[in-house]
Amino acid sequence: MDLRLLTEQPSTAERSAIDALLGSPEPADGRAVVGGHAVRARRHLLLPALHALQDASGAITRGGVAYVSERLSIPPTDVFGVASFYELFEVDGPGGATARPCDDIVCMGRGPAPDTGGAHVEPSACLGQCDRGPVVLHHEPGSGYSVATAESEGPVRQPRSELRLLRRVGEIDPTSLDDYLDAGGFAALAKAREMGGEAVVAELEASGLRGRGGAAFPVGRKWDGVRRAAGDKVVIANGDESEPGTFKDRVLMEGDPFAVIEALALFGFVTGAEEGFIYVRGEYPTAAERLEAAIAAANERDLLGMTIEVRRGAGAYVCGEETALFASIEGFRGEPRQKPPFPNEAGVFGRPTGINNIETLVTVLEVLRLGGTAFAELGTDGSTGPKLFCVSGDVERPGVYEVEFGATSRDLLALAGGVAEGKGLGAVLLGGAAGVFTGEDGLDVPLTFEDTRAAGLTIGAGALIVFDETTDFEPVVERIAKFFSDESCGQCVPCRVGTVRQGESLQRMFANPASTPVEVQLLGDLALAMDDSSICGLGRTASLAVLSAIDLGLVGGVRG
Protein backbone atom coordinates (compact mmCIF):
# COMPACT_ATOMS: atom_id res chain seq x y z
CA MET A 1 0.00 0.00 0.00
CA ASP A 2 1.26 3.49 -0.85
CA LEU A 3 0.99 5.34 2.44
CA ARG A 4 0.75 8.93 1.21
CA LEU A 5 -2.67 9.28 2.76
CA LEU A 6 -3.12 12.99 3.44
CA THR A 7 -5.70 13.36 0.72
CA GLU A 8 -7.46 10.03 1.23
CA GLN A 9 -10.97 10.18 2.66
CA PRO A 10 -13.09 7.43 4.25
CA SER A 11 -16.44 6.52 2.75
CA THR A 12 -19.55 7.61 4.60
CA ALA A 13 -20.04 4.06 5.87
CA GLU A 14 -16.45 3.85 7.12
CA ARG A 15 -16.64 7.23 8.86
CA SER A 16 -19.93 6.28 10.53
CA ALA A 17 -18.54 2.94 11.67
CA ILE A 18 -15.49 4.54 13.27
CA ASP A 19 -17.54 7.33 14.86
CA ALA A 20 -19.95 4.75 16.27
CA LEU A 21 -16.99 3.04 17.95
CA LEU A 22 -14.94 6.06 19.04
CA GLY A 23 -17.64 8.69 19.40
CA SER A 24 -17.97 11.77 17.22
CA PRO A 25 -14.78 13.74 16.78
CA GLU A 26 -14.39 16.76 19.03
CA PRO A 27 -14.79 19.97 17.02
CA ALA A 28 -11.39 21.63 16.80
CA ASP A 29 -11.44 24.99 18.58
CA GLY A 30 -7.87 25.90 17.76
CA ARG A 31 -6.88 26.21 21.40
CA ALA A 32 -6.68 22.69 22.84
CA VAL A 33 -4.38 19.94 21.67
CA VAL A 34 -5.36 16.40 22.64
CA GLY A 35 -2.41 14.06 22.86
CA GLY A 36 -0.04 12.29 25.21
CA HIS A 37 -1.54 9.93 27.72
CA ALA A 38 -5.15 10.55 26.68
CA VAL A 39 -4.41 9.44 23.14
CA ARG A 40 -2.15 6.53 24.05
CA ALA A 41 -4.87 5.22 26.36
CA ARG A 42 -7.07 4.65 23.30
CA ARG A 43 -4.51 2.63 21.34
CA HIS A 44 -6.28 -0.59 22.40
CA LEU A 45 -9.23 0.47 20.25
CA LEU A 46 -7.20 -0.05 17.08
CA LEU A 47 -8.19 -3.69 16.57
CA PRO A 48 -11.92 -2.98 17.09
CA ALA A 49 -11.55 0.02 14.75
CA LEU A 50 -10.04 -2.17 12.03
CA HIS A 51 -12.90 -4.64 12.45
CA ALA A 52 -15.31 -1.72 12.09
CA LEU A 53 -13.64 -0.68 8.81
CA GLN A 54 -13.62 -4.24 7.48
CA ASP A 55 -17.27 -4.70 8.45
CA ALA A 56 -18.23 -1.41 6.79
CA SER A 57 -16.70 -1.93 3.36
CA GLY A 58 -15.18 -5.41 3.20
CA ALA A 59 -11.64 -4.03 3.11
CA ILE A 60 -9.16 -1.85 4.96
CA THR A 61 -9.05 1.05 2.52
CA ARG A 62 -6.60 3.95 2.39
CA GLY A 63 -9.34 6.38 3.38
CA GLY A 64 -10.24 4.14 6.30
CA VAL A 65 -6.61 3.90 7.44
CA ALA A 66 -6.25 7.68 7.18
CA TYR A 67 -9.35 8.28 9.31
CA VAL A 68 -8.42 5.74 12.01
CA SER A 69 -4.92 7.17 12.04
CA GLU A 70 -6.30 10.66 12.62
CA ARG A 71 -8.86 9.62 15.24
CA LEU A 72 -6.44 7.50 17.31
CA SER A 73 -3.31 9.57 16.61
CA ILE A 74 -1.46 6.51 15.37
CA PRO A 75 0.84 6.96 12.36
CA PRO A 76 -0.63 5.48 9.16
CA THR A 77 2.33 3.13 8.78
CA ASP A 78 1.60 1.78 12.23
CA VAL A 79 -2.11 1.28 11.44
CA PHE A 80 -1.11 -0.44 8.21
CA GLY A 81 1.45 -2.59 10.04
CA VAL A 82 -1.19 -3.84 12.47
CA ALA A 83 -3.88 -4.36 9.83
CA SER A 84 -1.56 -6.33 7.55
CA PHE A 85 -0.66 -8.67 10.41
CA TYR A 86 -4.13 -10.22 10.43
CA GLU A 87 -5.47 -12.61 7.84
CA LEU A 88 -9.09 -11.46 8.07
CA PHE A 89 -8.33 -7.86 7.14
CA GLU A 90 -8.37 -7.27 3.39
CA VAL A 91 -5.75 -4.52 3.28
CA ASP A 92 -6.31 -2.43 0.15
CA GLY A 93 -8.47 -5.34 -1.05
CA PRO A 94 -11.26 -5.18 -3.59
CA GLY A 95 -14.01 -4.71 -0.97
CA GLY A 96 -17.37 -6.39 -1.08
CA ALA A 97 -18.08 -9.95 -0.01
CA THR A 98 -15.30 -12.40 0.80
CA ALA A 99 -15.50 -16.19 1.05
CA ARG A 100 -12.78 -18.13 2.87
CA PRO A 101 -13.01 -21.85 2.19
CA CYS A 102 -10.88 -23.92 4.55
CA ASP A 103 -8.12 -25.78 2.70
CA ASP A 104 -6.40 -27.15 5.80
CA ILE A 105 -5.60 -30.76 6.63
CA VAL A 106 -9.03 -31.83 7.87
CA CYS A 107 -11.16 -30.15 5.20
CA MET A 108 -8.80 -30.87 2.29
CA GLY A 109 -10.06 -33.76 0.26
CA ARG A 110 -13.50 -33.75 1.94
CA GLY A 111 -15.52 -33.11 -1.17
CA PRO A 112 -16.57 -29.79 -2.68
CA ALA A 113 -16.64 -26.83 -0.33
CA PRO A 114 -19.99 -25.11 0.17
CA ASP A 115 -20.94 -22.49 -2.41
CA THR A 116 -18.85 -19.31 -2.28
CA GLY A 117 -21.65 -17.34 -3.94
CA GLY A 118 -19.56 -15.30 -6.34
CA ALA A 119 -17.65 -13.60 -3.51
CA HIS A 120 -13.96 -12.74 -3.59
CA VAL A 121 -12.31 -16.07 -2.57
CA GLU A 122 -9.38 -16.30 -0.13
CA PRO A 123 -8.51 -19.88 0.94
CA SER A 124 -8.07 -20.17 4.69
CA ALA A 125 -6.21 -22.19 7.28
CA CYS A 126 -8.33 -24.29 9.66
CA LEU A 127 -11.54 -22.49 10.65
CA GLY A 128 -12.20 -24.60 13.74
CA GLN A 129 -15.24 -26.35 12.31
CA CYS A 130 -13.56 -29.72 11.69
CA ASP A 131 -16.59 -31.66 12.92
CA ARG A 132 -18.78 -30.31 10.13
CA GLY A 133 -16.52 -29.45 7.21
CA PRO A 134 -15.94 -28.64 4.46
CA VAL A 135 -16.55 -25.10 5.62
CA VAL A 136 -16.50 -21.53 4.33
CA LEU A 137 -16.25 -18.33 6.37
CA HIS A 138 -18.24 -15.59 4.62
CA HIS A 139 -17.91 -11.88 5.18
CA GLU A 140 -20.50 -9.46 3.88
CA PRO A 141 -20.07 -5.69 4.36
CA GLY A 142 -22.84 -4.43 6.61
CA SER A 143 -23.70 -7.82 8.03
CA GLY A 144 -20.36 -9.25 9.17
CA TYR A 145 -19.20 -12.86 9.33
CA SER A 146 -21.13 -16.09 8.94
CA VAL A 147 -20.08 -19.70 8.65
CA ALA A 148 -21.41 -22.15 6.06
CA THR A 149 -20.80 -25.79 6.86
CA ALA A 150 -21.56 -29.06 5.17
CA GLU A 151 -23.47 -30.19 8.25
CA SER A 152 -25.58 -28.30 10.75
CA GLU A 153 -24.73 -27.88 14.43
CA GLY A 154 -22.60 -30.81 15.58
CA PRO A 155 -24.54 -32.71 18.24
CA VAL A 156 -23.04 -33.95 21.48
CA ARG A 157 -23.14 -37.70 20.99
CA GLN A 158 -22.40 -39.01 24.47
CA PRO A 159 -24.86 -40.01 27.21
CA ARG A 160 -25.50 -36.98 29.41
CA SER A 161 -24.77 -38.99 32.52
CA GLU A 162 -21.12 -39.22 31.45
CA LEU A 163 -20.72 -35.52 30.87
CA ARG A 164 -19.47 -32.82 33.16
CA LEU A 165 -18.03 -30.08 30.94
CA LEU A 166 -20.48 -30.64 28.10
CA ARG A 167 -23.57 -31.46 30.10
CA ARG A 168 -25.42 -28.25 29.25
CA VAL A 169 -24.26 -28.02 25.62
CA GLY A 170 -27.20 -28.76 23.35
CA GLU A 171 -29.46 -29.26 26.38
CA ILE A 172 -30.23 -25.69 27.37
CA ASP A 173 -30.84 -22.55 25.33
CA PRO A 174 -27.42 -20.85 25.23
CA THR A 175 -29.12 -17.45 24.92
CA SER A 176 -31.25 -17.87 28.07
CA LEU A 177 -29.84 -16.78 31.43
CA ASP A 178 -32.86 -18.32 33.15
CA ASP A 179 -32.13 -21.70 31.59
CA TYR A 180 -28.55 -21.42 32.80
CA LEU A 181 -29.64 -20.49 36.31
CA ASP A 182 -32.16 -23.37 36.36
CA ALA A 183 -29.33 -25.73 35.40
CA GLY A 184 -27.28 -24.66 38.43
CA GLY A 185 -25.57 -21.71 36.78
CA PHE A 186 -23.75 -19.14 38.95
CA ALA A 187 -23.73 -21.56 41.90
CA ALA A 188 -19.94 -21.91 41.64
CA LEU A 189 -19.43 -18.15 41.75
CA ALA A 190 -21.77 -17.85 44.76
CA LYS A 191 -19.87 -20.65 46.50
CA ALA A 192 -16.54 -18.96 45.78
CA ARG A 193 -17.82 -15.72 47.30
CA GLU A 194 -18.83 -17.60 50.43
CA MET A 195 -15.50 -19.45 50.68
CA GLY A 196 -13.21 -16.54 49.86
CA GLY A 197 -10.41 -16.42 47.31
CA GLU A 198 -7.76 -18.14 49.41
CA ALA A 199 -10.00 -21.17 49.99
CA VAL A 200 -10.78 -21.37 46.26
CA VAL A 201 -7.06 -21.46 45.48
CA ALA A 202 -6.67 -24.26 48.06
CA GLU A 203 -9.43 -26.24 46.31
CA LEU A 204 -7.74 -25.72 42.94
CA GLU A 205 -4.44 -26.91 44.34
CA ALA A 206 -6.11 -29.96 45.89
CA SER A 207 -7.80 -30.70 42.55
CA GLY A 208 -4.51 -30.99 40.66
CA LEU A 209 -6.14 -29.14 37.76
CA ARG A 210 -3.68 -28.20 35.01
CA GLY A 211 -4.28 -25.88 32.09
CA ARG A 212 -5.96 -27.38 29.04
CA GLY A 213 -4.49 -25.07 26.42
CA GLY A 214 -1.32 -27.10 25.83
CA ALA A 215 1.14 -25.90 28.47
CA ALA A 216 -0.49 -27.86 31.35
CA PHE A 217 0.51 -25.30 34.00
CA PRO A 218 -1.02 -25.95 37.46
CA VAL A 219 -4.09 -23.72 37.69
CA GLY A 220 -4.01 -23.21 41.46
CA ARG A 221 -0.43 -21.96 41.31
CA LYS A 222 -1.25 -19.60 38.45
CA TRP A 223 -4.29 -18.13 40.21
CA ASP A 224 -2.35 -17.76 43.45
CA GLY A 225 0.40 -15.88 41.62
CA VAL A 226 -2.07 -13.37 40.23
CA ARG A 227 -3.90 -13.13 43.54
CA ARG A 228 -0.67 -12.25 45.36
CA ALA A 229 0.43 -9.70 42.76
CA ALA A 230 0.01 -6.04 43.64
CA GLY A 231 -1.65 -3.59 41.27
CA ASP A 232 -4.62 -3.14 39.02
CA LYS A 233 -5.20 -6.66 37.71
CA VAL A 234 -6.82 -8.11 34.60
CA VAL A 235 -8.13 -11.60 33.85
CA ILE A 236 -8.47 -13.03 30.36
CA ALA A 237 -10.30 -16.00 28.88
CA ASN A 238 -8.29 -17.17 25.90
CA GLY A 239 -10.79 -18.23 23.22
CA ASP A 240 -8.35 -17.98 20.32
CA GLU A 241 -8.03 -21.70 19.69
CA SER A 242 -6.55 -21.87 16.20
CA GLU A 243 -4.70 -25.16 16.24
CA PRO A 244 -5.83 -27.11 13.17
CA GLY A 245 -8.14 -29.88 14.33
CA THR A 246 -9.19 -28.06 17.52
CA PHE A 247 -12.74 -26.78 18.07
CA LYS A 248 -13.73 -27.65 21.65
CA ASP A 249 -13.56 -24.08 22.96
CA ARG A 250 -15.89 -23.03 20.15
CA VAL A 251 -18.39 -25.68 21.26
CA LEU A 252 -18.22 -24.36 24.85
CA MET A 253 -18.45 -20.68 23.88
CA GLU A 254 -21.35 -21.28 21.50
CA GLY A 255 -23.16 -23.88 23.55
CA ASP A 256 -22.54 -22.71 27.13
CA PRO A 257 -21.52 -19.03 27.03
CA PHE A 258 -22.82 -18.24 30.53
CA ALA A 259 -20.44 -20.86 31.95
CA VAL A 260 -17.53 -19.03 30.32
CA ILE A 261 -18.48 -15.67 31.80
CA GLU A 262 -19.27 -17.16 35.21
CA ALA A 263 -15.83 -18.81 35.26
CA LEU A 264 -14.09 -15.59 34.23
CA ALA A 265 -15.97 -13.65 36.92
CA LEU A 266 -14.84 -16.31 39.41
CA PHE A 267 -11.24 -15.84 38.20
CA GLY A 268 -11.65 -12.10 38.73
CA PHE A 269 -13.11 -12.55 42.21
CA VAL A 270 -10.32 -14.86 43.36
CA THR A 271 -7.50 -12.75 41.97
CA GLY A 272 -8.99 -9.35 42.76
CA ALA A 273 -9.26 -8.27 39.12
CA GLU A 274 -12.11 -5.94 38.25
CA GLU A 275 -11.61 -6.03 34.49
CA GLY A 276 -11.75 -9.04 32.19
CA PHE A 277 -11.49 -9.80 28.50
CA ILE A 278 -12.64 -12.77 26.46
CA TYR A 279 -10.46 -12.94 23.36
CA VAL A 280 -12.40 -14.88 20.73
CA ARG A 281 -10.85 -15.92 17.45
CA GLY A 282 -12.23 -13.87 14.58
CA GLU A 283 -13.44 -16.96 12.78
CA TYR A 284 -15.99 -17.66 15.55
CA PRO A 285 -18.73 -15.06 14.97
CA THR A 286 -21.45 -17.06 16.73
CA ALA A 287 -19.32 -17.54 19.82
CA ALA A 288 -18.57 -13.81 20.02
CA GLU A 289 -22.25 -12.88 19.61
CA ARG A 290 -23.45 -15.32 22.25
CA LEU A 291 -20.79 -14.24 24.74
CA GLU A 292 -21.66 -10.58 24.23
CA ALA A 293 -25.35 -11.36 24.73
CA ALA A 294 -24.55 -13.41 27.84
CA ILE A 295 -22.49 -10.57 29.35
CA ALA A 296 -25.33 -8.10 28.68
CA ALA A 297 -27.91 -10.42 30.26
CA ALA A 298 -25.72 -11.08 33.31
CA ASN A 299 -25.00 -7.37 33.73
CA GLU A 300 -28.71 -6.58 33.77
CA ARG A 301 -28.95 -8.68 36.92
CA ASP A 302 -25.62 -7.49 38.28
CA LEU A 303 -24.21 -11.01 38.49
CA LEU A 304 -20.60 -10.59 37.44
CA GLY A 305 -19.03 -8.17 39.92
CA MET A 306 -16.60 -6.92 37.29
CA THR A 307 -16.53 -5.63 33.72
CA ILE A 308 -16.04 -8.21 30.98
CA GLU A 309 -15.47 -7.30 27.36
CA VAL A 310 -15.29 -9.52 24.28
CA ARG A 311 -12.38 -8.82 21.93
CA ARG A 312 -12.43 -10.39 18.47
CA GLY A 313 -9.18 -11.66 16.98
CA ALA A 314 -8.70 -11.31 13.26
CA GLY A 315 -7.05 -14.45 11.96
CA ALA A 316 -3.61 -14.98 13.51
CA TYR A 317 -2.72 -18.37 15.02
CA VAL A 318 0.12 -16.92 17.04
CA CYS A 319 -2.31 -14.74 19.02
CA GLY A 320 -3.26 -17.85 20.99
CA GLU A 321 0.16 -17.43 22.66
CA GLU A 322 -0.55 -15.37 25.75
CA THR A 323 1.93 -12.53 25.25
CA ALA A 324 0.93 -12.20 21.58
CA LEU A 325 -2.68 -12.03 22.73
CA PHE A 326 -1.77 -9.19 25.11
CA ALA A 327 -0.13 -7.28 22.25
CA SER A 328 -3.22 -7.85 20.11
CA ILE A 329 -5.57 -6.48 22.79
CA GLU A 330 -3.27 -3.49 23.26
CA GLY A 331 -3.59 -2.61 19.58
CA PHE A 332 -0.21 -3.80 18.35
CA ARG A 333 0.82 -6.57 15.98
CA GLY A 334 0.25 -9.89 17.73
CA GLU A 335 3.92 -10.66 18.28
CA PRO A 336 4.99 -12.77 21.27
CA ARG A 337 7.29 -11.24 23.88
CA GLN A 338 10.14 -12.71 25.84
CA LYS A 339 9.31 -14.05 29.29
CA PRO A 340 10.09 -12.95 31.98
CA PRO A 341 8.34 -10.80 32.92
CA PHE A 342 5.56 -13.33 33.36
CA PRO A 343 1.93 -12.32 32.97
CA ASN A 344 1.23 -12.26 36.69
CA GLU A 345 3.94 -9.58 36.97
CA ALA A 346 3.38 -7.59 33.77
CA GLY A 347 0.79 -8.83 31.32
CA VAL A 348 -1.67 -6.90 29.21
CA PHE A 349 -1.11 -3.10 29.47
CA GLY A 350 1.81 -3.94 31.77
CA ARG A 351 -0.69 -4.92 34.50
CA PRO A 352 -0.68 -8.20 36.49
CA THR A 353 -2.72 -10.57 34.36
CA GLY A 354 -4.27 -13.98 34.78
CA ILE A 355 -5.00 -15.88 31.61
CA ASN A 356 -6.51 -19.33 31.02
CA ASN A 357 -8.10 -20.93 28.06
CA ILE A 358 -11.85 -21.53 27.81
CA GLU A 359 -11.86 -25.23 28.68
CA THR A 360 -9.66 -24.65 31.72
CA LEU A 361 -11.99 -21.97 33.04
CA VAL A 362 -15.12 -24.06 32.54
CA THR A 363 -13.37 -26.94 34.31
CA VAL A 364 -12.79 -24.68 37.33
CA LEU A 365 -16.57 -24.55 37.78
CA GLU A 366 -16.51 -28.34 38.08
CA VAL A 367 -13.76 -28.17 40.73
CA LEU A 368 -15.97 -25.84 42.76
CA ARG A 369 -19.01 -28.08 42.24
CA LEU A 370 -17.28 -31.32 43.26
CA GLY A 371 -14.63 -30.02 45.63
CA GLY A 372 -10.93 -30.28 44.90
CA THR A 373 -10.37 -33.68 46.49
CA ALA A 374 -13.26 -35.37 44.68
CA PHE A 375 -12.15 -33.78 41.41
CA ALA A 376 -8.64 -35.18 41.90
CA GLU A 377 -10.08 -38.69 41.97
CA LEU A 378 -11.07 -38.34 38.32
CA GLY A 379 -8.41 -39.17 35.76
CA THR A 380 -4.93 -40.17 36.92
CA ASP A 381 -2.62 -38.95 39.68
CA GLY A 382 -0.66 -36.70 37.34
CA SER A 383 -3.52 -35.65 35.07
CA THR A 384 -6.71 -35.11 36.99
CA GLY A 385 -10.26 -34.52 35.89
CA PRO A 386 -12.26 -34.65 32.69
CA LYS A 387 -10.82 -33.59 29.34
CA LEU A 388 -12.33 -32.63 26.01
CA PHE A 389 -10.89 -34.11 22.81
CA CYS A 390 -11.69 -33.01 19.28
CA VAL A 391 -11.86 -36.04 17.00
CA SER A 392 -11.94 -35.26 13.30
CA GLY A 393 -10.85 -36.50 9.90
CA ASP A 394 -11.67 -39.98 8.62
CA VAL A 395 -14.03 -41.10 11.39
CA GLU A 396 -17.71 -41.93 11.28
CA ARG A 397 -18.80 -39.30 13.83
CA PRO A 398 -16.38 -36.38 14.18
CA GLY A 399 -17.01 -34.20 17.21
CA VAL A 400 -15.97 -33.12 20.68
CA TYR A 401 -15.84 -36.01 23.16
CA GLU A 402 -15.45 -35.82 26.92
CA VAL A 403 -13.47 -38.49 28.76
CA GLU A 404 -11.41 -38.69 31.90
CA PHE A 405 -7.65 -38.40 31.52
CA GLY A 406 -6.26 -41.87 30.98
CA ALA A 407 -8.59 -42.82 28.15
CA THR A 408 -6.70 -43.79 25.01
CA SER A 409 -6.86 -42.68 21.40
CA ARG A 410 -8.39 -46.08 20.70
CA ASP A 411 -11.22 -45.26 23.14
CA LEU A 412 -11.82 -41.95 21.40
CA LEU A 413 -11.71 -43.57 17.99
CA ALA A 414 -14.39 -45.99 19.19
CA LEU A 415 -16.54 -43.13 20.54
CA ALA A 416 -16.29 -41.49 17.12
CA GLY A 417 -17.51 -44.67 15.41
CA GLY A 418 -14.13 -45.91 14.19
CA VAL A 419 -12.34 -45.20 10.93
CA ALA A 420 -14.87 -44.09 8.32
CA GLU A 421 -16.24 -46.56 5.78
CA GLY A 422 -14.64 -49.48 7.61
CA LYS A 423 -11.19 -48.66 6.26
CA GLY A 424 -7.94 -49.36 8.07
CA LEU A 425 -6.02 -46.73 9.98
CA GLY A 426 -3.30 -44.73 8.24
CA ALA A 427 -2.22 -42.57 11.19
CA VAL A 428 -3.50 -40.23 13.89
CA LEU A 429 -2.14 -36.72 14.25
CA LEU A 430 -2.27 -36.16 17.99
CA GLY A 431 -2.18 -32.55 19.20
CA GLY A 432 -2.95 -30.85 15.87
CA ALA A 433 -0.46 -29.29 13.46
CA ALA A 434 1.93 -28.67 16.36
CA GLY A 435 1.55 -32.32 17.37
CA VAL A 436 2.90 -35.70 16.40
CA PHE A 437 1.77 -38.45 14.04
CA THR A 438 1.33 -41.86 15.56
CA GLY A 439 0.30 -45.21 14.13
CA GLU A 440 -1.65 -48.18 15.45
CA ASP A 441 0.78 -48.82 18.33
CA GLY A 442 0.29 -45.28 19.70
CA LEU A 443 -3.46 -45.79 20.04
CA ASP A 444 -3.12 -47.52 23.40
CA VAL A 445 -1.02 -44.86 25.11
CA PRO A 446 -3.12 -43.38 27.94
CA LEU A 447 -3.91 -39.79 27.11
CA THR A 448 -2.31 -38.13 30.12
CA PHE A 449 0.36 -35.48 30.27
CA GLU A 450 2.85 -37.94 31.74
CA ASP A 451 2.17 -40.97 29.52
CA THR A 452 2.14 -39.05 26.24
CA ARG A 453 5.37 -37.29 27.16
CA ALA A 454 7.04 -40.61 28.00
CA ALA A 455 5.90 -42.03 24.65
CA GLY A 456 7.21 -39.03 22.68
CA LEU A 457 3.66 -37.87 21.92
CA THR A 458 1.71 -34.78 22.96
CA ILE A 459 -1.85 -34.02 23.93
CA GLY A 460 -1.53 -30.36 22.98
CA ALA A 461 -4.95 -28.79 23.25
CA GLY A 462 -6.71 -32.12 22.63
CA ALA A 463 -6.92 -32.71 18.88
CA LEU A 464 -7.00 -36.14 17.25
CA ILE A 465 -7.03 -36.00 13.47
CA VAL A 466 -7.57 -39.43 11.97
CA PHE A 467 -6.30 -40.41 8.51
CA ASP A 468 -7.35 -43.65 6.88
CA GLU A 469 -5.08 -46.13 5.13
CA THR A 470 -5.68 -44.59 1.69
CA THR A 471 -4.30 -41.17 2.68
CA ASP A 472 -1.55 -39.64 0.60
CA PHE A 473 0.46 -37.98 3.38
CA GLU A 474 2.67 -35.83 1.16
CA PRO A 475 0.10 -33.05 0.62
CA VAL A 476 -0.91 -33.31 4.28
CA VAL A 477 2.64 -32.76 5.51
CA GLU A 478 3.23 -29.99 2.97
CA ARG A 479 0.06 -28.23 4.17
CA ILE A 480 1.27 -28.42 7.77
CA ALA A 481 4.60 -26.87 6.75
CA LYS A 482 2.76 -24.11 4.85
CA PHE A 483 0.59 -23.46 7.89
CA PHE A 484 3.64 -22.64 10.00
CA SER A 485 5.39 -20.50 7.41
CA ASP A 486 2.15 -18.55 6.91
CA GLU A 487 1.58 -18.11 10.63
CA SER A 488 5.12 -17.29 11.80
CA CYS A 489 5.09 -13.71 13.05
CA GLY A 490 8.59 -13.26 11.67
CA GLN A 491 10.35 -11.86 14.74
CA CYS A 492 12.85 -14.72 15.11
CA VAL A 493 15.01 -15.40 12.08
CA PRO A 494 15.19 -19.19 12.67
CA CYS A 495 11.39 -19.43 12.73
CA ARG A 496 10.73 -16.92 9.93
CA VAL A 497 13.27 -18.49 7.59
CA GLY A 498 13.25 -22.04 8.94
CA THR A 499 9.52 -22.57 8.42
CA VAL A 500 9.89 -21.51 4.78
CA ARG A 501 12.99 -23.67 4.25
CA GLN A 502 11.14 -26.62 5.79
CA GLY A 503 8.39 -26.34 3.17
CA GLU A 504 10.92 -26.00 0.36
CA SER A 505 12.85 -29.03 1.56
CA LEU A 506 9.69 -31.14 1.59
CA GLN A 507 8.82 -30.03 -1.93
CA ARG A 508 12.28 -31.05 -3.18
CA MET A 509 12.07 -34.37 -1.38
CA PHE A 510 8.66 -35.22 -2.80
CA ALA A 511 9.66 -34.14 -6.30
CA ASN A 512 12.90 -36.12 -6.18
CA PRO A 513 12.82 -39.09 -3.75
CA ALA A 514 16.54 -39.69 -4.33
CA SER A 515 17.22 -36.49 -2.38
CA THR A 516 15.49 -37.85 0.72
CA PRO A 517 18.62 -38.53 2.89
CA VAL A 518 19.98 -35.02 2.29
CA GLU A 519 16.61 -33.37 2.89
CA VAL A 520 15.92 -35.40 6.02
CA GLN A 521 19.27 -34.26 7.41
CA LEU A 522 18.41 -30.65 6.57
CA LEU A 523 14.94 -30.93 8.13
CA GLY A 524 16.50 -32.25 11.33
CA ASP A 525 19.00 -29.37 11.43
CA LEU A 526 16.23 -26.83 10.83
CA ALA A 527 14.18 -28.34 13.63
CA LEU A 528 17.11 -28.07 16.04
CA ALA A 529 17.74 -24.43 15.13
CA MET A 530 14.07 -23.50 15.50
CA ASP A 531 13.70 -25.37 18.76
CA ASP A 532 16.82 -23.78 20.23
CA SER A 533 16.20 -20.18 19.34
CA SER A 534 12.52 -19.39 18.95
CA ILE A 535 10.80 -16.97 21.29
CA CYS A 536 7.53 -18.87 21.34
CA GLY A 537 6.05 -22.32 20.92
CA LEU A 538 5.21 -21.83 17.25
CA GLY A 539 8.83 -22.06 16.19
CA ARG A 540 9.60 -24.78 18.70
CA THR A 541 6.82 -27.07 17.47
CA ALA A 542 6.79 -26.27 13.74
CA SER A 543 8.77 -29.39 12.87
CA LEU A 544 7.23 -31.97 15.16
CA ALA A 545 4.57 -33.26 12.79
CA VAL A 546 6.90 -33.23 9.79
CA LEU A 547 9.65 -35.21 11.53
CA SER A 548 7.18 -37.66 13.06
CA ALA A 549 5.66 -38.32 9.63
CA ILE A 550 9.13 -39.14 8.34
CA ASP A 551 9.89 -41.30 11.38
CA LEU A 552 6.71 -43.28 10.86
CA GLY A 553 7.48 -43.73 7.17
CA LEU A 554 4.31 -41.87 6.16
CA VAL A 555 6.49 -39.77 3.84
CA GLY A 556 10.08 -39.96 2.68
CA GLY A 557 10.94 -43.39 4.06
CA VAL A 558 12.39 -44.08 7.50
CA ARG A 559 14.77 -41.49 8.92
CA GLY A 560 18.31 -42.73 9.30
Residue pair 67/111 in contact (Cβ under 8 Å)? The answer is no
Phi, psi dihedrals of residue 411, rounded to the nearest 5°: -60, -45
Size of the site for ligand SF4 (CB under 6 A): 14
Nearest distance, CB of residue 243 and ligand SF4, angstroms: 14
User: What is the C-alpha to C-alpha distance for residues 393 and 466, in angstroms, rounded to an integer?
Assistant: 5
Q: Which stretch binds ligand SF4 (CB under 6 A): 71-79, 239-247, 257-265, 529-537?
A: 529-537
Task: Choose which of 357, 383, 488, 541 interacts with ligand SF4 (CB under 6 A).
Answer: 488
| 536 in contact with ligand SF4 (CB under 6 A) | yes
Tell me the C-alpha distance between 558 and 250, whole Å. 37
The smaller minimum CB distance to ligand SF4, of residues 231 and 490, is found at 490
Question: Shortest approach of ligand SF4 to residue 487 CB, angstroms?
Answer: 7
The least CB distance from residue 461 to ligand SF4, in Å, is 17
Cβ 498 to ligand SF4, closest distance in Å?
9
Among 538, 546, 554, 555, binds ligand SF4 (CB under 6 A): 538
**How, if at all, do strands 120-121 and 98-101 pair?**
parallel
- Residue from 492, 520, 544, 546 touching ligand SF4 (CB under 6 A): that is 492
489 part of the interface to ligand SF4, by CB under 6 A: yes
Residue closer to ligand SF4 (CB basis): 297 or 327: 327
Least distance to ligand SF4 from the beta carbon of 492, Å?
3
Which 303-322 residues touch ligand SF4, going by CB under 6 A?
318
Count Cβ neighbours within 10 Å for each residue of 320-336 and write b for 16 or more, e otherwise.
Answer: bbbbbbbbbbebbbbbb
Residue 496 near ligand SF4 by CB under 6 A? yes
Contact in structure between 473 and 555 (CB atoms under 8 Å): yes
Q: Is residue 334 a contact point for ligand SF4 (CB under 6 A)?
A: no
* Among 249-257, 269-277, 383-391, 489-497, the segment contacting ligand SF4 (CB under 6 A): 489-497
Neighbours of 428 (CB within 10 A): 29
Q: Are strands 275-280 and 307-312 parallel, antiparallel or unpaired?
A: parallel
CA atoms of 179 and 169, how far apart (whole Å)? 12
Query: 122 to each of 93, 241, 532, how far by Cα in Å?
Result: 11, 21, 34
Angstrom distance (rounded) from CA 207 to CA 268 = 19
Using CB under 6 A as the binding rule, whether residue 336 contacts ligand SF4 is answered as yes
Please select the residue that binds ligand SF4; options are 534, 541, 543, 548, rule is CB under 6 A. Answer: 534
CA distances from 30 to 26, 27, 34, 40, 187 (A): 11, 9, 11, 21, 56
Binding residues for ligand SF4, rule: CB under 6 A, are 318, 336, 488-492, 495-496, 534-536, 538-539
